[in-house]
Structure 1
């Protein structure tokens, strides 16, 4: 007991010292001009560039990825890449505000179903158009926000930079290394708050990297990093000088912070009587569905899209908040069996990797125990495929986020039109979470569905809807807000409250709609698509993923024609 009290006293001293530094930093931040803030963000970008290799390789070793494995590419793309693009665009947004304009000055705005104003998030530049050819994304604003309002309201906390918001606490994620740093940027810029970051203990190896990459913010006294477990998190959330909390994690962790634990916590939650008395925002994951619209697919289409689905589940060993977990297919699709056969093969063939995230093996075993039919897959049998058919409707895989390499498949009846309508209704009523959803549809079938397809997309109440793409691409898109569909509240938090990333500082976003090519190049051209994009480097089957990921980061550090050619040379060997 004495040792515990001593540890708590030491933690309290560290926290109090960090808070005192940040109070001083907040005063300086309030006086810092917008151009000076933009310059600071560019310093962060330079710091990230300086430690990008250390970042990617440290993350790879932390996750048990073998040296030289193509899987290292995941850590280049889900680590330094996201910070390089976010800091660059955030700095540009501040420059536009400093010039008396809007962050949306010069951006492309349009209109979506239901009269919603849209903002193009991808591609925004010639570089993005070339490097991500065939991918495009729009941010749909909430109904009633017109183009003029969208431009006038963009900027969030930087519209009135002297009105700082106190100290924001970021309880960092333990799975994707870019998340804690991106959340720090969201608190600092969108929230206009100085920040104390407590990384998840799982990320302990990354703390020295964060200290280097975010060093300019630390030296400016607008960021402090404090390590520790749940007890340190509890002290921080209860600290009188903390004005806001942001957590990336699970709904259970959110509820423990907001309402407490045990019987008291359950009672408070039932009464919607939070113990936490300051605002909290959150990104909490959920069950991410993959709707497979029936069509006439070639053998190459079946194989490619099976690898696509396998990637959605197996990227980062399944430890992603938007890892695809539930495949919904038509029981009347003539190609159903062939697609599932390709899916089994794709899951089996994906490179072996450890289930590195704590508790993954236990959660996978729980999924096996909760479903009467479960197939152990993969080189070492750690992957679980649940082919449940029509009987899978209402199964635990629809409501339990396993955060492990577990993939369920259920059937709904119908042809393309009736199946799509049924699938949209099903995910709305039965499937847990509203963070992200994926829809796979071949171009001919989408044309046949016409406006009905667009209306189905509008009815999908998810923070990100990805069509022929994985929602993880939107996560990596700096201009796209990231978070659950709006409308959750503390006692029913779902996939979370609020949005992060959002480097255009858009106010009033409803969701992001991302589109990718149904087929990779060169088959895309033969199929009538304009995409020149090869097999994506984030595919778990991409043989050159490590080289492509590294070269993409090197390109964004210092763009040049030579480096762009190097990206494509690597990507086309995937």
Structure 2
């Protein structure tokens, strides 16, 4: 499509090339069909919407294996090894859970007027901030994730009554009109495109066109079948295409709003146009190229803050496995991959922990660098640095697990502080801190002021340290002040993505001009509005080993069982999962 300075172009964005761009005539037909169905879909009752979602569950179940196997093959994983579990867990399992929980929320709206949770879970915390307990909500979840909790911290000034008034706003409209949303799908995690669409449809109330990323356009046949009840009704469509198709769709008059999961560079191309004087003028004058609403999830240099404390050898070993998981999962091509370890100078456990992390990563085979631009980003960030450790025998098409420890925290020009690698690089820096409380304060300031991105952060703290005088208050302050949409205490924020009752998105301090980790929220099956952040809490160590850990020996056996459990939860399904986990 020809473009001008008054239309959006994605031609400068880094992307794989599509094997088969959807013809523009067919795109026009699909958008015309979606437009014709927008009002009809907006008028569908909550109970009828729940029925549509429940009709998708057996279809997702039928596609789970071929869907996961397609992703396993595309990413060069071994289907017979634990690493294959990643594509079950981050693909059909999470999508199944999202679909089912949205159906339950819609049933709750139909019967009580609210998507939940129960009244007592919307409360004020010890300092008067309104929070919503969103996990666990069932006996099954409590059994599977023993010791894990998640709360949503609402924006300052909101009361519990305000939360109830604001949530599920689409379903409070007297005469909803609906609209047509465009989702520009992510190429790295296979549940992202369908789950972004589910949010636009069942929380925002719009019909939806999803343009799959060329990296995972192999998903189309599986998603068309998995969501056939919605596709056949004309409420949801999936298409393939590269930058030219994306440009055409973003500019299409039948598209009312856009959601993108990708990079901040692509976001800014869409909103402000290519870099140069014209973009600068537009930003000065608040004159974006894109005149439509846009939401986004764009990534982060994810910090992992290690609060100094009395960790035992076994606890340090578990932390090392946890950090290795944050790095290795999905070849480190996750927006929430652990990227920046932050330690305290002089902490006696620092060298031991870093050595254990090195050993864990060294035990992992290098992965295929499947995501476009990975080699260029790697070369740019690693360059000729002398302080680099490369682990593993990387074959052609692979990248080694790479450690860059000892970065100068005062160096304002350090690229690794401001560039999301999206490749297997893990860095470390240390801060001056006299004790745990001082470390929490210093680490919070460093993350907020020096690291790029506002999506998620991990903070590890020993329970005995937290119990020390003044430390609990310092921890509250740190969590309160960290400008991230998700903060994981002792556990990876990848779980915030996967639980789906938890909203997923960047801190609301992001703006259209300085988008950082993105704008808006997805997942969020309780349909909350006025969110500031999600706080995940987990035990310092977990037994048996979680199936998402890269050190689990039975994860590939557990993952299909979890898909079945999410299809139809039941306490009787838990023992088989637990037994397999005990062998891991």
TM-score if structure 2 supplies the norm length? 0.92
Show the counterpart of 2:252: 239
Matched residues in 2 for 1:124 and 1:370: separation? Answer: 50
Matched residues in 1 for 2:222 and 2:187: separation? Answer: 14
Q: 1:557 aligns with which of 561, 567, 583?
A: 567
SS at match of 1:152: helix
Q: 1:257 aligns with which of 233, 256, 270?
A: 270
Matched residues in 1 for 2:202 and 2:569: separation? Answer: 25
Q: 1:215 aligns with which of 210, 228, 234?
A: 228
Matched residues in 2 for 1:266 and 1:370: separation? Answer: 33
> Is the aligned partner of 1:63 residue 2:80?
no
Contact 2:402 2:426 survives alignment (8 Å): yes
> Is the aligned partner of 1:432 residue 2:452?
yes
> Is the aligned partner of 1:177 residue 2:195?
no
1:99-144 per-residue CA deviation (whole Å, 9 max, x = no partner) reads 2421125252232354221111111111100011111100111112
SS at match of 2:565: helix
Matched residues in 1 for 2:146 and 2:425: separation? Answer: 31
Show the counterpart of 2:362: 348
Alignment of 1:62-461 (within 5 A): 62-104=74-116, 106=118, 108-112=121-125, 114-160=127-173, 162-263=175-276, 264-369=278-383, 371-380=385-394, 382-390=400-408, 393-394=411-412, 395-414=414-433, 415-448=435-468, 449-461=471-483
For residues 50 and 283 of structure 1, do their structure 2 counterparts lie closer, same or farther at Cα, with a shift above 3 Å needed?
same
For residues 10 and 573 of structure 1, do their structure 2 counterparts lie closer, same or farther at Cα, with a shift above 3 Å needed?
closer
* Residue 161 (structure 1) shift: 7.2
Matched residues in 2 for 1:379 and 1:550: separation? Answer: 30
1:297-350 per-residue CA deviation (whole Å, 9 max, x = no partner) reads 111111110111111111100100111110000111011111111111111112
> Is the aligned partner of 1:22 residue 2:34?
yes
Q: 2:492 aligns with which of 464, 467, 470?
A: 470
The number of equivalent residue pairs is 558
For residues 84 and 391 of structure 1, do their structure 2 counterparts lie closer, same or farther at Cα, with a shift above 3 Å needed?
closer
Contact 2:76 2:368 survives alignment (8 Å): yes
Quick check: 158-167 or 14-23, which moved more?
158-167
For residues 178 and 188 of structure 1, do their structure 2 counterparts lie closer, same or farther at Cα, with a shift above 3 Å needed?
same
SS at match of 2:341: strand
Please, which runs of 5 or more residues in structure 1 have no aligned partner? 522-533
For residues 197 and 190 of structure 1, do their structure 2 counterparts lie closer, same or farther at Cα, with a shift above 3 Å needed?
same
For residues 34 and 10 of structure 1, do their structure 2 counterparts lie closer, same or farther at Cα, with a shift above 3 Å needed?
closer
Q: 1:495 aligns with which of 500, 507, 517?
A: 517
Contact 1:438 1:465 survives alignment (8 Å): yes
TM-score if structure 1 supplies the norm length? 0.94
Quick check: 45-54 or 101-110, which moved more?
101-110
Contact 1:388 1:409 survives alignment (8 Å): yes
Q: 1:504 aligns with which of 504, 523, 526?
A: 526
For residues 505 and 451 of structure 1, do their structure 2 counterparts lie closer, same or farther at Cα, with a shift above 3 Å needed?
same
SS at match of 1:503: coil
* Residue 48 (structure 1) shift: 1.0
Matched residues in 1 for 2:327 and 2:482: separation? Answer: 21
For residues 9 and 300 of structure 1, do their structure 2 counterparts lie closer, same or farther at Cα, with a shift above 3 Å needed?
closer
For residues 273 and 359 of structure 1, do their structure 2 counterparts lie closer, same or farther at Cα, with a shift above 3 Å needed?
same
> Is the aligned partner of 1:540 residue 2:582?
no
Quick check: 8-17 or 76-85, which moved more?
8-17
Matched residues in 1 for 2:549 and 2:352: separation? Answer: 21
Contact 1:188 1:194 survives alignment (8 Å): yes
Q: 1:483 aligns with which of 484, 495, 505?
A: 505
CA RMSD of aligned residues (A): 2.0
Show the counterpart of 1:44: 56
Contact 2:366 2:400 survives alignment (8 Å): no
* Residue 370 (structure 1) shift: 6.8
* Residue 9 (structure 1) shift: 11
Quick check: 423-432 or 555-564, which moved more?
555-564
For residues 162 and 189 of structure 1, do their structure 2 counterparts lie closer, same or farther at Cα, with a shift above 3 Å needed?
farther
Matched residues in 1 for 2:273 and 2:280: separation? Answer: 8
Contact 1:322 1:471 survives alignment (8 Å): yes
Matched residues in 2 for 1:430 and 1:500: separation? Answer: 26
For residues 242 and 466 of structure 1, do their structure 2 counterparts lie closer, same or farther at Cα, with a shift above 3 Å needed?
same
Contact 1:413 1:419 survives alignment (8 Å): yes
SS at match of 2:79: coil
* Residue 265 (structure 1) shift: 3.5
Quick check: 153-162 or 353-362, which moved more?
153-162
Please, which runs of 5 or more residues in structure 2 have no aligned partner? 3-18
Contact 2:200 2:206 survives alignment (8 Å): yes
SS at match of 1:115: coil
